[in-house]
Structure 1
Amino acid sequence: MNMNSVLRVFKSKRYSSPALRQFSMSSTRYDNHSCKFLVIGGGTAGCAISSKISNSYGSDGVIVLEPNNLHYYQPLFTLIGAGIKKLDSSHKEMKSVLPKKAKWIKDSVAVFEPEANKVTSNEGHTINYEYMIISTGLQLNFNAIPGLEEALNDDDSKVCSIYSPKYVTKTWTSMKDLNGGNLIFTYPNSPVKCPGAPQKIMYLAEDYFRNIAKNRNDVNITYNSSLGVIFGVKKYADALWKIVKKRDINVNLRRNLIEVKPDTSEAVFQNLDNLDEKFTVKYDLLHVTPPMGPSKALLNAKSVTNASGFVEVNKSTMQHVKFPNIFALGDCTDSPNSKTAAAAAAQSCVVEKNLKSLLNKKSLDAVYDGYASCPLVTSRNRCVLAEFDYSLNPMETFPFNQAKERLSMYIMKKDAMPLLYWNVMTKGYWNGPEIMRKIFNPFKFN
């Protein structure tokens, strides 16, 4: 039977059920698409910028290339891992989050061809664009550490991670089952999205054992970080050192996890200042923050990225350094800011304004100053709200010392920020707290 005969069968009355009609439509491959704006990625950054562009330029001009059915608000994963929130509260259907005026192609990019203003998807679609915005985020590389995936997929291994929806609930289960012993938290030798999260889950675990399980004296808690500091901004680092000392948490810097041995419940670490020095430590519970990096497509897109696979942009304008019709934002860029949702919000405003300037043949005057925010949850009722810029100088919104643990900041993190995310940021209306900062601190920041 040839293809025309097949199509006639599917169009016949006998085979016209909705399910079969949907199948016949979705099975089309190797389509050619054209658009004014192509957004690669429908995560936090991609959703924010595609909504902004759709709001400004109307229907039929924006295509979003995104493979996932669910959109996660990942900052909730820390609270889910500590049993404070449920996984179901962290996600929505992708189709309900992406802008309705944009066309969603449920696929991912395979090949970038910036010289020809087109990309090819993994399913073989070709998309031609006038302007492209790359926002593919970071890929979790659990397989980069020998033994880690095996341990994570073994319910009895006591190895967990809040960084994936697949493993985040195991963190809470493992925590509840721990009666005592060595509890180890790691920070990898790679870029990390939400770099405060490895500490947040540690503080929440310590709080659980101290105030809920009441067995804190039976648990030895260690934080092994590849970094040379506990936090990049000195003001907040000073506050965190006081917290870990007060709560009897061991901190080892420049120590990187290189192997997990689930059969013997052992973790192998390497001293990054002396690579020949390795440590094998027994664990009763191991929380791993996996190494992260760009997507495979970006790693292969040499004309768009730097040697590490991150999109090369002007850190002020977020425009590509080589292709003026390409912008990027979020975790996939080589912009030296902390990789947080707050950074993506601020960048989305800059990208939108500079796109408009480019379209109107004007200079790109909107500037991203490196703003990022990290609500460092330190217990089930306290949070340190870190805000800072490229130079790691504090950029605090509120008229009080945000390095102090506060209940108000915890409530904002737990309850207000998710509402802001779903109802304002993903719809393209949130550019960060700059206006609030100017109101609260008119002389310092104006």
Structure 2
Amino acid sequence: MKSHRQVLIIGGGTAGIMVAAQLLSQKNAKDIAIIEPADTHYYQPAWTLVGAGTYDYDKTARPMSSIIPKGAEWIKDKATGFDPDNNSVSTASNGTITYDYLVVAPGLAYDFSLVPGLGEAIDKGVVCSNYTDPKHTWNVIKNFKGGTALFTQPTTPIKCGGAPQKIMYLAENHFRKSVVKKKTDIVFATGGTVIFGVKEVAKTLMEVVDRKDINLRFHHKLVAVDGDKQIAWYKLGKDITAGGCVVMSGEDTEKHLDETFQYNYKDVKVTVDGNRYGIHYDMLHTAPPSVAPKFVKESDLVNAAGWLDVDHKTMQHNKYANIFGLGDVAALPTAKTGAAIRKQVPIVVDNLDLLMKHDKIGNKAYNGYSSCPLVTDYGKMVLAEFDYGNNFTPDPKLKQMLISDSSKEHWRLWMLKKYGLPYLYWNKMMKGKNV
């Protein structure tokens, strides 16, 4: 095997495959290799639907060998470290590989040590996560017999920040159909301060919360999970005042409720232990705490927060001009989604192409676009599209689907999520076509 590549890409996920495919279509890069250890490539956005029992898990998977673009070499190996001053990457089995240009797109990793107890509890019993085992999520939801259904998330960045609440809306819909809803309290506990960062979308989601009778608990930082006792432990990011909401119960609750802390209060079982606040659950869904992969986090390529240090507009590394990074690993202040990657890739490819031809990058700029398809019921969806400033930026093409306002629930958006987006992913995005 050759030890040098013109363009070396780390990661065979959405970002890595799209960059390789688009570079090959430009015909300037002739020697491209992708380092990727996995045998299978997953379309993870559909895992929300898998977790709700309305999509076949097997249809989200394809062999990696069928996804690697024709003309790119697949190095089935793990990257283990960087030596950017000598333009080289170390691997687990293939030694050192040097490059002219490097694209870092390995996605993110899960670090369960950040929430003690979660790693031992997840994907077992009544604790589930669409991020790790959506089939188990569906088993938990369909076998739920009532009680406290707790949906939560860590305070780290995660894939698609809206995903922990999408499955909650679908679960509520299933509970309603299966008649356990009347003996169920649904609680959404988040370290954030609002249901969603885009005002137009948040307004719709609050209407959904009202309709579904969901208790929102803000300023709740998940710090531990006790799987045996079925308690999720939190540190509260806001003081409980004398008339405070979380410890109140009984007749005075509504009078004292602070809706910036709790909305639509439910008197579920809680335990206070020092400065920790425990919510008892009968089922728990969460996202895993997420970090950059270890070999990236421990390299010289990251910022103080441990994410790949790239320019927010060009995705070029802030120190090494021949390195680019995009996707979930990149330190970009926007949501980590496939939709964001869809807009990042053409910028990276254009800059790489110009760098190879003229030794300088272009002036195309990524504006932070991301999108979060927020499924609110079986058959309904809101599409949150936004930029770095959390400005609502709907795609004009939605008008072709007869959707005038994608911040409102619509059945056509559900059809887009379930059928349209998977088709575009496999047949357009993975083939290097701009969509």
Shorter-chain TM range is 0.7 to 0.9
- Counterpart residue type for residue 112 of structure 2: F
Query: Who is 2:162 aligned against?
Result: 196
Query: In the TM superposition, what is the alpha-carbon distance from 1:238 to its structure 2 partner?
Result: 1.4
Alignment equivalent of 1:131, drawn from 94, 98, 101: 101
Q: Is the 8 A contact 1:59 1:102 kept in 2?
A: no
**What is the distance in 2 between the residues matched to 1:401 and 1:413?**
16
Query: Who is 1:323 aligned against?
Result: 320
- Counterpart residue type for residue 371 of structure 2: S
**What is the distance in 2 between the residues matched to 1:309 and 1:53?**
28
Alignment equivalent of 2:214, drawn from 249, 252, 255: 249
- Counterpart residue type for residue 401 of structure 1: D
Query: In the TM superposition, what is the alpha-carbon distance from 1:143 to its structure 2 partner?
Result: 3.9
Query: In the TM superposition, what is the alpha-carbon distance from 1:91 to its structure 2 partner?
Result: 0.8
Query: Who is 2:248 aligned against?
Result: none
Query: Who is 1:5 aligned against?
Result: none
Query: Who is 2:424 aligned against?
Result: 420
**What is the distance in 1 between the residues matched to 2:30 and 2:387?**
36
Query: In the TM superposition, what is the alpha-carbon distance from 1:32 to its structure 2 partner?
Result: 5.5
Q: Is the 8 A contact 2:3 2:98 kept in 1?
A: yes
Query: Who is 1:380 aligned against?
Result: 378
Q: Is the 8 A contact 1:32 1:126 kept in 2?
A: no
1:354 aligns with 2:351: yes
Query: In the TM superposition, what is the alpha-carbon distance from 1:176 to its structure 2 partner?
Result: 1.0
Provide TM-score, normalisation by structure 2. 0.88
Q: Is the 8 A contact 2:352 2:361 kept in 1?
A: no
Paired residues, number = 395
**What is the distance in 2 between the residues matched to 1:72 and 1:58?**
29
Q: Is the 8 A contact 2:44 2:60 kept in 1?
A: yes
Distance 1:229 1:249, change over 3 A: same
Query: Who is 2:65 aligned against?
Result: 95
**What is the distance in 2 between the residues matched to 1:265 and 1:191?**
25
Query: Who is 1:209 aligned against?
Result: 175
- Counterpart residue type for residue 416 of structure 1: G
Query: Who is 1:301 aligned against?
Result: 299
1:140 aligns with 2:110: yes
**What is the distance in 1 between the residues matched to 2:97 and 2:238?**
46
Query: In the TM superposition, what is the alpha-carbon distance from 1:214 to its structure 2 partner?
Result: 2.2
Larger relative CO (CA 8 A, sep 6+): 1 or 2? 2
**DSSP 3-state at the match of 1:99:** coil
Query: Who is 1:175 aligned against?
Result: 141
Query: Who is 1:160 aligned against?
Result: 128
Once the two structures are superposed, residues 2-48 of structure 1 have per-residue CA deviations (whole angstroms, 9 ceiling, x without a partner) of: xxxxxxxxxxxxxxxxxxxxxxxxxxxxx662110000101111111
**What is the distance in 2 between the residues matched to 1:105 and 1:368?**
29
Query: In the TM superposition, what is the alpha-carbon distance from 1:153 to its structure 2 partner?
Result: 4.8
Alignment equivalent of 1:110, drawn from 70, 80, 91: 80
Q: How is 1:204-353 mapped onto 2 (pairs within 5 angstroms)? A: 204-210=170-176, 212-273=177-238, 277-302=275-300, 304-353=301-350
**What is the distance in 2 between the residues matched to 1:363 and 1:264?**
56
**What is the distance in 1 between the residues matched to 2:68 and 2:361?**
30
**DSSP 3-state at the match of 2:16:** helix
Query: In the TM superposition, what is the alpha-carbon distance from 1:274 to its structure 2 partner?
Result: 5.5
Alignment equivalent of 2:18, drawn from 48, 53, 73: 48
**What is the distance in 2 between the residues matched to 1:66 and 1:95?**
11
**What is the distance in 1 between the residues matched to 2:166 and 2:353?**
39
Query: Who is 2:259 aligned against?
Result: none
**DSSP 3-state at the match of 1:243:** helix
**What is the distance in 1 between the residues matched to 2:298 and 2:119?**
25
Query: In the TM superposition, what is the alpha-carbon distance from 1:56 to its structure 2 partner?
Result: 2.4
**DSSP 3-state at the match of 2:175:** helix
**What is the distance in 1 between the residues matched to 2:71 and 2:29?**
5
Of 62-71 and 251-260, more deviation after overlay is shown by 251-260
Q: Is the 8 A contact 1:186 1:256 kept in 2?
A: no
**What is the distance in 1 between the residues matched to 2:170 and 2:355?**
46
Alignment equivalent of 2:405, drawn from 401, 414, 419: 401
Q: Is the 8 A contact 1:59 1:101 kept in 2?
A: no
RMSD over equivalenced CA pairs, Å: 1.6
- Counterpart residue type for residue 306 of structure 2: G
**What is the distance in 1 between the residues matched to 2:415 and 2:111?**
32
Distance 1:101 1:255, change over 3 A: same
Query: In the TM superposition, what is the alpha-carbon distance from 1:329 to its structure 2 partner?
Result: 0.8
Q: Which runs of 5+ in 1 are unaligned?
A: 1-30, 433-446
Query: In the TM superposition, what is the alpha-carbon distance from 1:53 to its structure 2 partner?
Result: 1.3
**What is the distance in 2 between the residues matched to 1:277 and 1:405?**
39
Of 400-409 and 122-131, more deviation after overlay is shown by 122-131
Query: Who is 2:414 aligned against?
Result: 410
Q: Is the 8 A contact 1:58 1:101 kept in 2?
A: no
Query: In the TM superposition, what is the alpha-carbon distance from 1:149 to its structure 2 partner?
Result: 2.2
**What is the distance in 1 between the residues matched to 2:361 and 2:116?**
49
**DSSP 3-state at the match of 1:370:** coil
**DSSP 3-state at the match of 2:196:** coil
Distance 1:291 1:99, change over 3 A: same
- Counterpart residue type for residue 322 of structure 1: K
- Counterpart residue type for residue 262 of structure 1: G
Of 308-317 and 72-81, more deviation after overlay is shown by 308-317
**What is the distance in 1 between the residues matched to 2:317 and 2:168?**
37
Once the two structures are superposed, residues 356-376 of structure 1 have per-residue CA deviations (whole angstroms, 9 ceiling, x without a partner) of: 121222442111111111110
- Counterpart residue type for residue 319 of structure 2: K
